[in-house]
Amino acid sequence: MQSFTGVGVSPGRIVGSVRQMPKAVSEPPAGEQLASSTTAEDAAVTLRAAAKAVQAELKQRSVSATGAGKSVLEATALMAADPMLIKGAVKLINTGTSAERAIWESAASVAEMLHNLGGYMAERATDVLDVRSRIVAELRGVPAPGIPASDEPFILVADDLAPADTATLNPAVVLALVTSGGGPQSHTAIIARALGLPAVVAAVGVESITDGTAVYVDGAAGSITVDPDAEQLEAATAWAANAATLAVFSGEGVMADGHLVPLLANVGGAADAVKAAAAGAQGVGLLRTEFCFLDRDEEPTLDEQVTAYRGVFDAFPGKKVVLRTLDAGADKPLPFLTDASEPNPALGVRGYRTDFTSPGVLKRQLAAVATAAEGTEADVWVMAPMISTADEAADFARMCGEAGLKTPGVMVEVPSAALTAETILGEVSFASLGTNDLTQYAMAADRQLGPLAALNTPWQPAVLRLIQLTVAGSVAEGNNKPVGVCGEAAADPALAVVLVGLGVNTLSMTARALAAVAAVLAKVTVVEAQRLAGIALAAPSALEARARVRAELPILDELGL
C-alpha cells in the first residue's frame, strides 16, 4: 500500500478518485518558427480549429454555470474565436511564426490594449490570457489548464492553487485538495478551510498518482493512501456522519468550566458576513477590507467603501465587528497602493506602511468606515495591519480619533510588535494576533514556499512564545486591553485550546471552523488549557508541540479533527 505524507491543513477523512490539475501552459519560445513541413495556410486553419474547440468547450461549461460565472464564461467563450485575436495571430503566422507563438503574441497585445483602457476592460485582460493558455494547450494536445471540468466527484491533486482558482473550484464536485507544494498558510490551505474541504499540502510525490486512482485522504493527519483498506473506508464513513454534527455551532464559545471565549468570524465582505452570521459567529474578528477591492486599479470611492462596509455591519447588529484597514502588498497587491517591482514585497511597503508612500488613502478609508458605522447597531472596532512600533500605533490611533472612530487597535504580526506589546497597547484599545504573518516573520520563511512548510506553522514554540509575550504586554499595560487571534491558527481546534491557555481572549476564524473549535473547547477547562499551553511552549519543535498537545486531547481523534 503506497502512501504519502504532507501537512494536514483542513480536517476530514475521505475516499475518492484522483484528478491531477494540468500544469500551467508554458510560453512558446520567442521567435518560434513554423515547422518546415507546415504551410502558413495550414497553420492558420489549425489555429482556427483550436480556437473553435476552446470556444465550444467554454460554451458548454457556461450552460451548466449560473449567475456571474455564467456571463463571464459566455463572454470568454466569444473571446476564444474572436476575429481581432485570430486575425492578429494569422498575420504573424503569415510571416513565418508558429501558431502557438502567434496566438501568444496576439493575445498579449490585446490584453495590453484592454489593460490600457483601464477599469472594467482592464479586468477582462486576464480573461484573454486565460483563453490564450487554453488555445495553446489545445494546439499542443495537452489538457486545458485550470481545475478539470468533471461531473464526477474527485480529489484534486495540484502543485498549489492560486486565489483565482477559487472561482472555478466547485465544492460539490471537488472532495478534497492535495498539493505537492504550498504550506499551511498557502492559498490552498485558506481555500480548503473556507470551503470546508479536507486538505493536505506539501505532500512530496503526489504528482505521480495517476488519474482515476482511488485514494484515502486524512486532512487532520496529513496523509494520503493509495488503494485504501477496509479500516480507512470505515473511517471515511464515520467522518461523513461526524461532519454533520460538526457543522452546527450553538452561537456561544464556552469552555467546560463556563469560561467564555467569544468565537468570531473572518470575512472578506458582506456576502461572507451574512453566511458567518447564519453560522452563529459572535461577531467579526477580522474584516479584510482589501478583499472588497482586489483587482481594482483605482482607489474605491467613498460611496463604494461605505456600501461595502455597511453590508458587513448590518449583518451583526449589537455585535462586535473588527475592521482591518487595507492590507495591500506582498501576495495581495493593489495597484493604487503597492509597488509591484519591490525586490522583497513581504518586507516592503505593505499594510499600514502604504500610508508613508500613498498618504490620504488610509485617511479616506477611515472616514468611509466612520460614515458606514453611523446608524448601524454594530460595535465597530478598527485596526491597522503591519504595525511595528508604538509610534505607528499612536499615529494610527490619532487618525482614528480624528475620523471619530472610538476603538482603534493594531494587528500584531511583526515580531517587534509582540516584543513591545506593552508600549503599543498603551496607545491603542486592543491587539489582534495575525498568526499567519507573525509565523512567516518570526521564522523568516515565506508563506508560499512548499519547502519551508515545516517552518511555517504557528505550532512553532517561538511563535507561541511571541503570542505569550503579547498577552503579557497587555497584562503589564494594566487596563485589561483585549488580545485576540484572527489568523488561521484559531481555526485549528487543538491550537485554539493552546491559544486560550496562553491567555488569548477571543478567537476569529473562517466560519466553517466555528463548530469544530467550539466542540473541542467545550471539553476543556481553562486550567487544562493552561497546562497544554505549557506543554506546547516547552516542546523542542513544532511537530512535537502539536503531537504532545494532541495526545492530551482524545476528543480530537473521536471527532476526526
Partner 1 sequence: MSERTATIASRVGLHARPAAIFAEAVGALPVEVTIALEGDPADDAMDASSILSLMSLGAANGQVVVLRAEGDGADEALAGLVTILETDLDAE
Contacting positions for partner 1 (CB under 8 A) = 71, 74-75, 78-79, 82-85, 110, 113-114, 117, 120-121, 124, 128
Q: Which helix (H) or strand (E) holds 60?
A: helix 40-64
Q: Which residues pair with 158 in a beta bridge?
A: 179
Read off the C-alpha cell for 486: 484572527
- Least Å distance, CB 465 to partner 1, is 52
Task: Name the pairing type of β-strands 506-509 and 214-218.
Answer: unpaired
- Least Å distance, CB 72 to partner 1, is 9
Q: Is-catalytic flag, 187?
A: yes
Amino acid at site 176? A
Closer residue to partner 1 in complex, CB, 85/330: 85
Closer residue to partner 1 in complex, CB, 112/211: 112
CA angle centred on 490, ends 486 and 495, rounded to 5°: 145
Read off the C-alpha cell for 48: 482556427
**Catalytic residue (choose from 115, 187, 259, 400):** 187
- What single DSSP character describes residue 505? -
Closer residue to partner 1 in complex, CB, 86/161: 86
Q: What is the DSSP string of 214-242?
A: EEEEETTTTEEEES--HHHHHHHHHHHHH
Closer residue to partner 1 in complex, CB, 128/418: 128
Closer residue to partner 1 in complex, CB, 84/260: 84
Sheet holding 174-179, edge to edge: 3-5, 223-226, 214-218, 13-20, 154-158, 174-179, 199-201, 7-10
Closer residue to partner 1 in complex, CB, 55/420: 55
- Least Å distance, CB 134 to partner 1, is 16
**Burial degree of 119 (CB within 10 A; 0-12, 13-18, 19+):** exposed
- Least Å distance, CB 162 to partner 1, is 24
Amino acid at site 444? A
**Catalytic residue (choose from 115, 292, 400, 486):** 486
- Least Å distance, CB 359 to partner 1, is 32
- Least Å distance, CB 297 to partner 1, is 15
CA distances from 35 to 88, 142, 237 (A): 20, 19, 55
334 φ, ψ to 5°? -125, 120
CA distances from 483 to 220, 271, 412, 500, 557 (A): 27, 27, 9, 10, 29
Q: Is-catalytic flag, 259?
A: no
- Least Å distance, CB 271 to partner 1, is 20
Closer residue to partner 1 in complex, CB, 124/350: 124
Q: What is the DSSP string of 340-386?
A: TT-S-GGGSS-GGGHHHHSTTHHHHHHHHHHHHHTT--SEEEEEESS
**Could you give the residue numbers annotated as active site?**
187, 486
